[in-house]
Structure 1
Amino acid sequence: MESDRAVVTMEPTSASIVDRVRREVERTALRARNGIRMAAGLSRPEVGQTLKDVVWRHGRSELWRYRNDNVRVSPPLLIVFSLFSRSYILDLQPGNSFVERLLAAGFDVYLLDWGVPDERDAANRLEDYVDDYLPAAVERVRHIAGTEQINMLGYCFGSVLSLLYAAHHLDAPLRSLTVMTTPVDLQQLGPLTSVVGGGGLDVGNVLDADGNVPPQVIYQGFQVLKPTAQVTQYVDLWERLWSDDYVAAHQAMIGWATDHIPLPGGVARQLAEMTRDNAIVNDTLVVGGDRVHLADITVPFLTVLGNRDHIVPEASAAPLIDLIGSPDKHEVRLDGGHVGLLVGRTAAKTTIPTIIDFLIQRSETQE
């Protein structure tokens, strides 16, 4: 026999209604305050605050060593950043910093920042980075740390540079190689393919007076990938404009996303050729006049990609794992975007712990 169940509908009390109204009034006032501050440029957050020292320079490039009084993991970790944007996304804000987490885990962390190219860099080619800058930076890290080997981690196009370095220098002193959001199939980059010279674009038509691809061209290429992003961002921002923490994080992220740097013209021309030939996937890479093969990379290897990455889509990054020759190779696909793999909840809960665990298992640690 079924029992009768009384359904009780709770009406909001006068007190709860007053509380809601009061909270919304307070949030509206905070929205107005924060909106005025943003419009006036008065509340821009500081980024890249983790203490570091410049330990090597070459051209516009600098090698940074982050200060850590509690190094427990050896060998050191060298991060190779992209040529397209600024590296502070790795150290966005205190509490939301990839570098900060690595330091807390006991790593001796170095970062190779390429600086801002000018007319002196217009003729730079991939060989300048892969056969000159990177080997010199690696040797500097080894000298400072007093180790025979290093761990290397590349992000975005820094991953491509790391792969080319490892493939062209088979005696490189690498304990392991980790790459994130790596564009491998250059013909699967969507509209961004045109930025790297695909689709019949003549790179010479977009170079600036210095001979480089200007930042605004690169930025527009990224914008085309997700044309509704700005609308969505403004809707989300309005909903949480009352939160000082959210506004600061939003400004830091948006600031980085629009803060691109020139791409050396020589590299742009090479990328155009690589894209037309799909050289990485088709194993036709040439570096410094030598054929190089990713299959020759045999060090412990990890590749991380996001299934919601609109800058380096999953289809572009996915072929990499099968191209690497290492018997100790691993792929991690995460539910995140290009930047979400580095900052935010996915990064904090999954990406960073996964990378740290991979590195620690292939390193020596001290308690």
Structure 2
Amino acid sequence: MIHQLLEQADRRAGIDARRALLRFLNGIEWLVRDPKTVVGRTPYQSILRQGKLEVRRYNLGSVKLRYATPVVLVPPLMVKPFIYDLFPGRSLVEFLLEHGFQPYVVDFGEPDEADHLVRLDQYVLDWLPAACAAVRADAKVEDLTLLGYCMGGVFCLMYVAAHRDTKVRNLVCIATPIDMNKMGLLAWVAKLAGRQVETLARQIGNVPGGLSSTAFRLLTPVKNVTRYTDFFLNLWNHEYVLGFEAMNQWVSQFIDYPRDAFVQFTRDFMQQNKLARGQLTLGGRAVHLREVRCSLLVFAGKSDQVAPPASVRALMDKVGSQDKTFSLVPAGHMGILAGANAPKLVWQPMVQWLSARSQKVTVPAVRRLSGQRTQRSAEPAKRRAAGAN
């Protein structure tokens, strides 16, 4: 018995020594790292540049496409589109490619002072239609799958509802709140300080990304205290370190929110809940969720404090879709899209769902990188065109 205990102690000491060495090596690597090289490493090609708008087709050397229906990923405002491509093994675009789908990512660009008059109308009525048209032309198909995370999902829903685009074959919404009255603390703050927030926004112009980042962190104060302790304890785990850095880049690189779009969202969505109530108009066009009739897959996170499950589940009763699926998974607002368990809890069920609802190619197509210049999605796009608003 004592001999067995000593052997276990020796093994434990060996494990502890190995982890101590890995903790040291990973710590040195983390200190000298270039954070920008962590995220957005899957090669892509731009198929559209229109002002600040860009649409990217992602590639992995040569891939066998098994499905002719492309997947168009739409990001929310405030965050950069690399959330769909964090790092190898934690990249949704990479995962889609590996499962035979062709992903495209929409990048709305980074607003500057000239964009303070940009409203949600332009995202939904101008830029998303242009992005979808570019994808259709590039993929040489009409049917699309739209995928949106958080407000990106709201954009997808509003696009389909406003344009009644029957060629959107599938729609995937991840952590997408619809009933703002069920958003908990955020809804309470918006209603309590709505006018003050609107007045402040009109004074300062675009809402700074740093302010949004701080507000986001304040939603989980305890986690912000313990995150670096957890980081040190797991510093021996290289994948954990990569995930920590990627998530840190996500939150620390929030971009500015156009002033008028922010005021419009605060008033029409957070305060008056117009989309859920069927009272929303964009550019004089009614936006009714009942006009969404495509196949619909919705994911909500049990511990999501930004988009609580009740605010997401409400979508199921608003749309006109007959084929609709709701999935509640054990995850928070960021983890549901790109956490360590996201591939198992969300991505894998999603590709299985899409596989049954996407047009298959007769002969698997191999798409190789052409002579066009391949870019990395971590590289900032320089898009400064006049009149973008």
- TM-score scaled by structure 2? 0.85
Q: Secondary structure at the match of 2:154?
A: helix
1:202 is the counterpart of 2:197: yes
What letter matches 2:285 in structure 1?
Answer: D
CA distances 1:248-291 after superposition (whole Å, capped 9, x unpaired):
22111222122211111111011121221111222211111122
Q: Which residue of 2 aligns with 1:3?
A: none
1:46 is the counterpart of 2:41: no
Structure 2 Cα separation of the partners of residues 150 and 95 of structure 1: 25
Count of equivalent residues: 358
Q: Which residue of 2 aligns with 1:237?
A: 231
Q: Which residue of 2 aligns with 1:225?
A: 219
Correspondences of 1:88-167 after superposition (within 5 Å): 88-167=82-161
Quote how far apart the aligned CAs of 1:214 are: 0.4
**Contact between 2:90 and 2:340, CA under 8 Å: does it hold in 1?**
no
Q: Secondary structure at the match of 2:338?
A: coil
**Contact between 1:150 and 1:173, CA under 8 Å: does it hold in 2?**
yes
1:329 is the counterpart of 2:308: no
Q: Secondary structure at the match of 1:69?
A: strand
Quote how far apart the aligned CAs of 1:311 are: 2.0
Structure 1 Cα separation of the partners of residues 183 and 337 of structure 2: 20
**Range 49-58 or range 172-181, more displaced:** 172-181
What letter matches 1:101 in structure 2?
Answer: F
**Contact between 1:45 and 1:248, CA under 8 Å: does it hold in 2?**
no
**Range 67-76 or range 123-132, more displaced:** 67-76
**Contact between 1:37 and 1:43, CA under 8 Å: does it hold in 2?**
no
Structure 2 Cα separation of the partners of residues 202 and 14 of structure 1: 64
Q: Which residue of 2 aligns with 1:319?
A: 314
Structure 2 Cα separation of the partners of residues 168 and 309 of structure 1: 28
Q: Secondary structure at the match of 2:65?
A: coil
Structure 2 Cα separation of the partners of residues 135 and 42 of structure 1: 36
Q: Secondary structure at the match of 1:213?
A: coil
- TM-score scaled by structure 1? 0.90
RCO (CA 8 Å, sep 6+): is it higher in 1 or 2?
A: 2
**Contact between 1:187 and 1:198, CA under 8 Å: does it hold in 2?**
no
**Contact between 2:275 and 2:287, CA under 8 Å: does it hold in 1?**
no
Structure 1 Cα separation of the partners of residues 192 and 355 of structure 2: 39
Q: Which residue of 2 aligns with 1:79?
A: 73
**Range 37-46 or range 298-307, more displaced:** 37-46
Correspondences of 1:276-315 after superposition (within 5 Å): 276-315=271-310
1:66 is the counterpart of 2:58: yes
Q: 1:208 to 1:348 in 2, by over 3 A?
A: farther
**Contact between 2:303 and 2:333, CA under 8 Å: does it hold in 1?**
yes
Q: 1:42 to 1:100 in 2, by over 3 A?
A: closer
Q: Secondary structure at the match of 2:274?
A: coil
Q: 1:228 to 1:105 in 2, by over 3 A?
A: same
Match of 2:162 among 165, 168, 171: 168
1:24 is the counterpart of 2:9: no
Structure 2 Cα separation of the partners of residues 33 and 177 of structure 1: 43
Quote how far apart the aligned CAs of 1:42 are: 5.8
CA distances 1:164-202 after superposition (whole Å, capped 9, x unpaired):
111110145211211111121223333434786763332
Structure 2 Cα separation of the partners of residues 42 and 288 of structure 1: 43
**Contact between 1:214 and 1:261, CA under 8 Å: does it hold in 2?**
yes
Q: Secondary structure at the match of 2:337?
A: coil
Q: Which runs of 5+ in 1 are unaligned?
A: 1-8
**Contact between 1:166 and 1:297, CA under 8 Å: does it hold in 2?**
yes
Structure 2 Cα separation of the partners of residues 63 and 341 of structure 1: 24
Match of 1:190 among 163, 184, 206: 184
Structure 2 Cα separation of the partners of residues 127 and 105 of structure 1: 34
Q: 1:329 to 1:198 in 2, by over 3 A?
A: farther
Q: 1:32 to 1:65 in 2, by over 3 A?
A: same
Q: Which runs of 5+ in 2 are unaligned?
A: 365-389
**Range 101-110 or range 184-193, more displaced:** 184-193
What letter matches 1:166 in structure 2?
Answer: V
Q: Secondary structure at the match of 1:27?
A: helix
Q: 1:193 to 1:144 in 2, by over 3 A?
A: same
Q: 1:226 to 1:207 in 2, by over 3 A?
A: farther
Q: Secondary structure at the match of 2:299?
A: strand
Quote how far apart the aligned CAs of 1:69 are: 3.2
**Contact between 1:191 and 1:221, CA under 8 Å: does it hold in 2?**
no
